[in-house]
Chains A and B, each alone.
Chain A
Amino acid sequence: DAGVTQSPTHLIKTRGQQVTLRCSPKSGHDTVSWYQQALGQGPQFIFQYYEEEERQRGNFPDRFSGHQFPNYSSELNVNALLLGDSALYLCASSLRYYEQYFGPGTRLTVT
């Protein structure tokens, strides 16, 4: 059983560019949450998707947006990248209210 998968593993972008990160949830899971983990910090909640709708959002600007597809996979989009957006982006999936399982993350570096 494949766990949560994320792509790409690493990427480097320039300030002002846009980026799309992808996540496939664990089989049987219907809810996807995204987190940003800056170096030396705990993960910070960005938003959560269920039934293709954004259900909750953390304290992140509108530059951060997302989408969930009918197969439950999800994308995180970040526009107008800033240096401060450099971080590990983690996707977690769950079956509705139950515990979240995390993917390996995407390391984004903004130069």
Chain B
Amino acid sequence: AQSVTQLDSQVPVFEEAPVELRCNYSSSVSVYLFWYVQYPNQGLQLLLKYLSGSTLVKGINGFEAEFNKSQTSFHLRKPSVHISDTAEYFCAVSEWHSGAGSYQLTFGKGTKLSVIP
């Protein structure tokens, strides 16, 4: 069964500084990987996804992530953060379940990013 570990529960960073949010996963099969962002009292918004191909994935709002198969990681990065990036970020892995004939999405516990003015 797949699992997702987000290594930092909270990350404070100064405005315009770079940030990296770490995510490791475990799975016995090929997976798809996602990062979602959740603003207070809202649902989840897809930031970026890795399905196949280039291991460097670019998403919305200037975020990017790199898939590293050997280290089973999918870390999220942004070179310069803004106040508006303050939110909770969730890493998720989607694994094929042959018995059900569908994919199941498993989330990490989230990382709260706080951007300090």
Contacts and interface: CB of A to CB of B under 8 A. Distances in A.
13 contacts: A35-B107, A41-B110, A43-B44, A45-B104, A48-B100, A56-B100, A56-B102, A92-B105, A96-B102, A99-B32, A99-B49, A101-B46, A103-B43
A25 interface: no
Interface of A: 4, 31, 33, 35, 40-45, 48, 50, 55-56, 58, 90, 92, 96-97, 99-105
A103 B32 CA distance: 21
Q: How large is the interface on B (under 10, 10 to 19, 20 to 34, 35 or more residues)?
A: 20 to 34
A108 to B, nearest CB: 14
B34 A43 contact: no
A42 B105 contact: no
A79 B4 CA distance: 30
Interface in B92-117: 97, 100-110
B44 A102 contact: yes
A92 B108 CA distance: 17
Nearest to B45: A102
A15 to B, nearest CB: 25
A89 B100 CA distance: 23
A48 B104 contact: yes
Contact of B97 (A56, A92, A102, A104): A56
A43 B107 contact: yes
Given A42-B107, A97-B102, 16 more contacts: A4-B43, A42-B90, A43-B107, A45-B106, A48-B104, A55-B102, A56-B97, A56-B100, A58-B104, A96-B102, A99-B34, A99-B49, A100-B46, A102-B36, A104-B43, A105-B43
